[in-house]
Amino acid sequence: VSENSQPILMIDPGHGGTDPGASGHGLIEKNMVLDISLYQYNRFKELGVSVGLTRNNDTFIDGTSRANIVVSSKAKYCISNHINAASSSTAKGAEIIHSIHDDGLFAKVIANSLADAGQVLRPTATYCKSNAQGKDYYFMHRQTGNVKTCIVEYGFLTNKEDANRLQMNWIPYAEAVVQAFCQFVGHDYSEPLIKTDENVANKSGFEDVPNHHWAAASITKAVESNIFTGVSKERFYPDRNVTRAQLAVILDRAGLLK
């Protein structure tokens, strides 16, 4: 799903489709990591970082195909987004797992940035793990070869405080990882052009635009000002493309045409 022929960075929203990943306190990992990943994808494009995604909708991708998408993109870096679950409800905080062949510096920069954004870190916030054969334990490290892949676990859906923090603050946490990548590779970083204002979000009540959607505030304003409405009363389809004809009408309604 890469728009650029050769992205420097691949963002991988974990799970998808028939594989929901972790769930707890009303949140489902596959949806939350897709929101986080789409937010980061748009932010990286805004910052001029060539970026791709392993999935941009709710589809299932098996592990080998997922790793192959990353490898064939020829990207140098991969951020694999996940949210944790544990049998103990007290386990909480973010952790970043890097390859056994990686010095772990990128993971440390991400961990520090998440802490600056207010997320709790696990006691061991960054680490690597090998299997019985002495290879990387996780397939995303084992099968992505020379790509510098970090698995970012933003917190635990099975912990009430973490789930609450994630629901309220997933945008600042997603942004923290964007900032960390820019810092690590030495790319110019600037704050988002559009800030999501939680207070005006989702008054229009679309089922597919949750309060925490990164564009919720702008979508609400577009609908309220009658410039750009939903496909139905219930659905806005935030990730569908706009046609050239629709764009002309939107520009006209926005008063930008003479």
Please report, as ranges, the residues that interact with Zn ion according to CB under 5 A: 14, 21, 82
Cβ-based nearer residue to Zn ion, 16 or 21: 21
- We find the least distance from the C-beta atom of residue 83 to Zn ion, in angstroms, to be 6
> For tokens 């089922």, what's the residue?
207
Distance of closest approach, residue 75 Cβ to Zn ion, in angstroms: 20
The residue (of 109 and 157) whose beta carbon lies closer to Zn ion is 157
Cβ 111 to Zn ion shortest distance, Å: 17
Collect all residues with Cβ–Cβ distance below 8 Å to 73 and sequence separation of at least 6.
Answer: 2, 6, 7, 10, 52
- Nearest-Å Rg of the Cα atoms of the chain is 19
Please identify, using beta-carbon distances, which residue of 83 and 222 lies nearer to Zn ion.
83
DSSP sequence for the chain = --SSSS-SEEEEE--BTTB---EETTEEHHHHHHHHHHHHHHHHHHTT--EEES-SSS----HHHHHHHHHHHT-SEEEEEEEE--SSTT--SEEEE--TTS-SHHHHHHHHHHHHTT--EEEEEEE--B-TTSSBSSHHHHTSTTSEEEEEEEEETTSHHHHHHHHHHHHHHHHHHHHHHHHHHT------SS---GGGTTTT--TTS-TT-TTHHHHHHHHHTTSS--SSSS---TTSPPPHHHHHHHHHHTT---
What is the sign, positive or negative, of the torsion defined by CA atoms of 136, 138, 142, 144?
negative
For the bound state, the minimum distance from the C-beta of residue 153 to Zn ion, rounded and expressed in Å, comes to 7
Least distance between Zn ion and beta carbon 21 (Å): 4
Least spacing, CB of residue 67 vs Zn ion, in Å: 15
Tell me how far, at minimum, the Cβ of 222 lies from Zn ion, in Å: 33
* Cβ-based nearer residue to Zn ion, 20 or 205: 20
Of 11 and 223, the one with the shorter C-beta distance to Zn ion is 11
**For Zn ion, which is the closer residue by CB, 12 or 175?**
12
- Residue among 77 and 156 whose Cβ is closer to Zn ion: 156
Distances (CA, A) of 125 to 122, 154, 160: 5, 11, 19
